[in-house]
Amino acid sequence: MNRPRTWPTPTLTARDCALNGWRVAFCLLSCVLLTGCFWSRGEKTVGLPAEHRIKTGQLLLLSDFKLKESHPLVQELALLRDEVNDTLQLPHQNKTITVYLFEDKETYHKYLNEHHPNLPDRRAFFVQQGGELAVYTHWGDQIQEDLRHEYTHGLLHSNLHGLPLWLDEGLAEYFEVDSHTPGRLHPQYTNQLNRLIADGWQPELERLEHITEFQDLKLSDYREAWGWVHFMLHDSEESKQVLLSYIHEFQGDHKHAASLPLSVHLAQMNPAYPQRLQKYLAVLPDEYESVTEQASR
């Protein structure tokens, strides 16, 4: 797994994150949360970090402990905006993405339990509520990975409307890996997919395309979604252009569906595209042996 860098401890001592589980991106596109309660602007700041704030680009970071704007985490999120938009050939947006950063998981979970008891137990999540794009998380060992993932969702949703769930998650999985990692590989996924292919696993993009509810996504679906995104971005210029052209169909001010599923566009490029994906993923561990060896230790 992509390991966070060692950073100075914040002004208030942060407790390590010991939560095992998968981060979640909740794209709540209405003004009614899962609790059924309307979250008015006057209520939503109650219990939320607000003592310290950093504003840079689209990022508004609100925390209950002090971080400097020069902190590596803040700088990395600012750079992530360029990485996502440059890679996907999307314009920079000015829409604010608010990150609510709690000092520790106890405070974070207490807030969730009091205000959103129906949300699952996760280290971080992204919420699109009406016009607001927000990330909720707490300081911990995996803060870099969690924030890269969830902030990517915010960047995507500031530019795109109605992106299919599997692709939204696949892109977030891709960009959560530090750009300095060779090949931008997700080491566990790379090795797991390699073993699955050796055992006869068959990719099913059409199946992923039919998943529309977050609760129906399994860990294996995140892994496969990452594989498709990595394949399309790195296999060839043709595959990359297929992905970018598809993504660009979701630009605009209103949610809408693309004219054709991405699987159809890939089939037009190469009718044997599932087999091409298998061959592509099968050689990744050899091309980036040092990365995958480190992950297996």
Question: Tens of pLDDT along the chain (297 residues)?
Answer: 343 333 433 332 222 333 334 444 444 433 333 323 233 344 444 489 999 999 999 999 999 999 999 999 999 999 999 999 999 999 999 999 999 999 999 999 999 888 878 877 889 999 998 889 999 999 999 999 999 999 999 999 999 999 999 999 999 999 999 988 988 999 889 989 999 999 999 999 999 999 999 889 999 999 999 999 999 999 999 999 999 999 999 998 766 677 899 999 999 999 999 999 999 999 887 666 654 455 454
Q: What letter represents residue 291's amino acid?
A: V
Domain coordinates of the chain in residue numbers?
24-159, 173-296
CATH topology of domain 24-159: Glutaredoxin (3.40.30)
- Position 112 scores a pLDDT of 87
Q: Label the pairing between strands 132-138 and 97-102.
A: parallel
Burial class (CB in 10 A: 0-12, 13-18, 19+), 47: middle
Strand locations in the chain (E): 24-26, 52-56, 59-63, 97-102, 124-129, 132-138
The total of other beta-carbon atoms located within 10 Å of residue 110's CB is: 13
- Position 117 scores a pLDDT of 84
- Position 293 scores a pLDDT of 55
81, 92 in Cβ contact below 8 A? Answer: yes
- Position 119 scores a pLDDT of 78
